[in-house]
Amino acid sequence: MAKIRQPIDPEKEARIIEVAMHEFAQHGYRDTKTENIATRAAVSKGLIFRYFKSKANLYLTTVRYTFAKINQAADLSVWQDSTDLKMMIVRGLRYKIQMQLQYPDEFALAMQAYGDSSALPEKLQPQVQKIWQDVVADSVPLLVTPILERLPMRPGVDPNNVRAMILALSSFIGEKSKVMIQANPHLKVADFDGIVEQAQALMDIVEHGFLANETKA
């Protein structure tokens, strides 16, 4: 009847990570104090170090958790079955914005970890980079490719470049909405309609170009 070893209370661990995510996202690594995390997670400071060994390691764990959470929460089917690119972009964008609104801290932390983040102590940077590479990889291409394959491609156009173009456009729009959310966290999805429309217009350009008088061979 040996008592099962339970070195870690999963609920407390979860609380700590959730709080850490929030704190790191709001204040950055250096200005987040373990004391605060402990208090808000209703846990002792000592426990954080027992569970996570160090602040740096807590950060790493939190970032990993955050990426996982975003990935898991993302319901790719929402836009995966779009019939054309514009529809997909619109759906995907709207969905992403919705998620940014729903998980502002998660997104903020993810972006912070991605950004060159001289915000982080020297030692953490390479490790954070690694997480990115492992997790983010190439999710966008995977989603876009099936649709792209159904579309007739103008001769001489490399599909990879189309994907790159869409990626560029996507992060451009993402940046725009992030700024809006930072300025006013209480916006609704509808408030981003203008941005979505712009994205649509940009996609139109990507599809048909902006030049007139084209004589396509």
Provide the binding-site residues for DNA, judged by CB under 7 A: 6-9, 12, 31-35, 43-47, 49-51, 53-56
- Residue closer to its own copies, measured from CB, 33 or 75: 33
Q: Give the separation between CA 13 and CA 21, rounded to whole angstroms.
A: 12
Q: Is 195 in the site for its own copies (CB under 8 A)?
A: no
Q: Is 139 in the site for its own copies (CB under 8 A)?
A: no
The CB-of-216 to its own copies minimum distance in angstroms stands at: 5
DSSP secondary structure string for all residues of 88-147: HHHHHHHHHHHHHHHSHHHHHHHHHHHS--TTS-TTHHHHHHHHHHHHTTTHHHHHHHHH
The CB-of-53 to DNA minimum distance in angstroms stands at: 7
Burial track 173-195 (b if 16+ CB lie within 10 A, e otherwise): bbebbbebbeeeeeeeeeebeeb
Q: Give the separation between CA 141 and CA 80, rounded to whole angstroms.
A: 12
User: How is residue 186 annotated by DSSP?
Assistant: T
Stretch that binds its own copies, among 50-58, 69-77, 92-100, 146-154 (CB under 8 A): 146-154
Q: Give the separation between CA 198 and CA 203, rounded to whole angstroms.
A: 9
The CB-of-130 to DNA minimum distance in angstroms stands at: 20
Residues 6+ apart with CB under 8 A from 8: 51
The CB-of-16 to its own copies minimum distance in angstroms stands at: 19
Residues 6+ apart with CB under 8 A from 151: 84, 85
Convert residues 156-185 into a mask of x (bound to its own copies by CB under 8 A) and - (unbound): -xx--xx-xx-xxx-xxx-x--x---x---
Q: Which does 50 bind (CB under 5 to 8 A by kind): DNA, its own copies, none?
A: DNA
User: How is residue 192 annotated by DSSP?
Assistant: G
- Residue closer to DNA, measured from CB, 49 or 114: 49
Convert residues 10-29 into a mask of x (bound to its own copies by CB under 8 A) and - (unbound): --------------xxxxxx
Q: Which of residues 31-60 bind its own copies (CB under 8 A)?
A: 31
Residues 6+ apart with CB under 8 A from 210: none
- Residue closer to its own copies, measured from CB, 99 or 111: 111
Per CB under 8 A, residues contacting its own copies are 24-31, 108, 111-112, 115-122, 151-155, 157-158, 161-162, 164-165, 167-169, 171-173, 175, 178, 182, 198, 201-202, 204-214, 216-217
